[in-house]
Amino acid sequence: MHISRSIVNSKILKLAFTIFCFFTAGNVISAPVKITGKAAEYARNTIELNIFHDYISEETIKLGDIMFNSEGVFELEFDLTETNLCFADFDGYHGMIYLEPGKSYQLVFPPKRKLTDVQKRNPFTKPDPVWFGIANPTSNDLNVLIQQFETAFSKYENQYFDQIFINKSGVLVDSVKMMLGKEFPKTSNPLFESHKLFRNATLEFALHQGKVDTFKESYFRKTKPVYNLAAYSNLFNQVFPEYFSFLDNSAHNPEISNMINTAKLQQLDDYFQKELQFNRELAHWVLLKSLKDAYYSRNFNKAAILKMLDQVKVAGWSSYEQKTAQLIRTKLTHLASGTTPPKINLKDLTGRAIRFSDYSGTYIYLHFTDPKNTACRQHLDVLKKVSVQYKEKLIIINVLRESANFKNDSGWTGIFTTTDSDPATSYKVKTYPNSFLIGKDGKLLLSPAPNPIDGLDRQLGQIFKSDHFKEMQKTSGQNVR
């Protein structure tokens, strides 16, 4: 039986409207969520449970710590305002579960595994995604429905991968969607229906990469963003990557580039809503993602991007959008030269607190190192020579990856410290050695800075030579620019 595309699109829009109503009505009141369980293998472990504030900035919000007692029993309670995909990273797992306000869950953890030192040290090893189990779930539990759907979806996707993603068979896409529809008929759970809608849409997206205008019309233009649904966000990110560049390189408004580089946020907003016919929420969400993407592009002015993120603090943008803009801006400027170094708790090997403020007016070379690593030892050896040359102008603070059994038998230079902060979070340290230079004004000067073998001596020489020149000009009474 042939069904016209207009009827299909009409049904999609009706479903999207129902989903939107679900997410915009009565979801501002928080309700407690309680998780309990027992996992003897995890006794005396602690695992952090988080959510994303949004799927553009990907700023994590900590919900609490799952603390296992000596028998592996755990209990955690917190408030949620809406259903969220919660996650925890542990033992090489990325555990996931949707939690709904007002509900209790008895979690089942995956088998505990012990990572090798090599696995722990490898910064590029990605954790394995895994759904948390739920003891004695109801048949209509959201997680059960999603997990069952994903199992079937993956089966068909793998079975017909070539026909869909290589041969672009629209007939087969329709067949797969029909088979999934029979296996998973309509339920009374709006979030699950939304999940099905946007997961099925990824199959249609594979046919033309969302370039056909009817695709955006069907799934995005008239549908307000489902902010807390991973399936929506994953498709959204595929449909709107580097969107400013797409508009700038297409036959759209030739003034796009000028509007971006002169920070005309309101004009861009008007263009998205009036010319592209995006609803206001979608226009704002695409703009926020586009601003983030454009910051890393060489085609657009970084200062203008940051200025527009600041302009979001105006009427017409929701508090959620404004907060997202703020989080994006913070992430974009994190560790940028000229900004204040992230806070990090440091103690020397005697337990004395080490603070950057203790060395104001002096350059600080912050050096993250792992003396167990051959390359790090080589850099520490070279750093001794650098220290001798610039000892009056430079303080070296070495931050140890691991302090157990460390003894400075090689006579390496600088203050050796430990930290209970996470360098991977605060300073994005994924590999060792990794270094930063903090200027005399307490701001980041070189971020990152060259490591000792990689040109540190030459870079410091240029900086100190410039300082000397400025001092001579000051002494002689010349104006310094």
Residue 47 belongs to a domain: yes
Q: So what's the pLDDT on residue 425? A: 85
Q: So what's the pLDDT on residue 1? A: 37
| 6, pLDDT greater than 90 | no
Q: Are residues 267 and 354 in the same domain?
A: no
Q: So what's the pLDDT on residue 251? A: 62
Residue 18 belongs to a domain: no
Domain end residue (candidates: 113, 143, 173): 143
Q: So what's the pLDDT on residue 123? A: 62
| 179, pLDDT greater than 70 | yes
Q: So what's the pLDDT on residue 116? A: 76
Residue 12 belongs to a domain: no
Share of the chain above pLDDT 90, in %: 73
168 or 14: whose pLDDT is higher?
168
Written as one letter, the residue type at 313 is: K
Q: Are residues 399 and 302 in the same domain?
A: no
> Rounded distance, CA 481 to CA 467, Å?
12
Structural domain harbouring 88: 31-143
> Rounded distance, CA 15 to CA 9, Å?
10
List of E strands, 53-92: 60-67, 73-80, 84-90
pLDDT bucket at 248, cuts 50 / 70 / 90? confident
| 25, pLDDT greater than 90 | no
Please say whether the beta carbons of 60 and 50 come within 8 A.
yes
Q: Which two tokens stand for residue 252?
A: 């759209």
Identify which of 215, 226, 160 has the alpha carbon closest to the alpha carbon of residue 191. Answer: 226
Q: Are residues 362 and 303 in the same domain?
A: no
Whole-angstrom Cα Rg for the chain = 27
Q: Are residues 316 and 372 in the same domain?
A: no
pLDDT tens digit string along 182-192? Answer: 999 999 999 99
Residue 339 belongs to a domain: no
> Rounded distance, CA 170 to CA 8, Å?
15
pTM of this structure: 0.81
pLDDT tens digit string along 154-163? Answer: 999 999 999 9
Q: So what's the pLDDT on residue 479? A: 55
Please say whether the beta carbons of 341 and 438 come within 8 A.
yes
Q: Are residues 275 and 350 in the same domain?
A: no
What is the spatial order of strands in the sheet that 46-52 belongs to?
A: 60-67, 46-52, 84-90, 93-99, 128-131
Q: Are residues 405 and 446 in the same domain?
A: yes
Q: How many domains does the chain have?
A: 3
Q: Which two tokens stand for residue 433?
A: 């050695």
Q: Are residues 350 and 471 in the same domain?
A: yes
pLDDT tens digit string along 450-462? Answer: 999 998 999 999 9
> Rounded distance, CA 340 to CA 318, Å?
29
- pLDDT mean across residues, the chain: 89
Residue 135 belongs to a domain: yes
| 178, pLDDT greater than 70 | yes
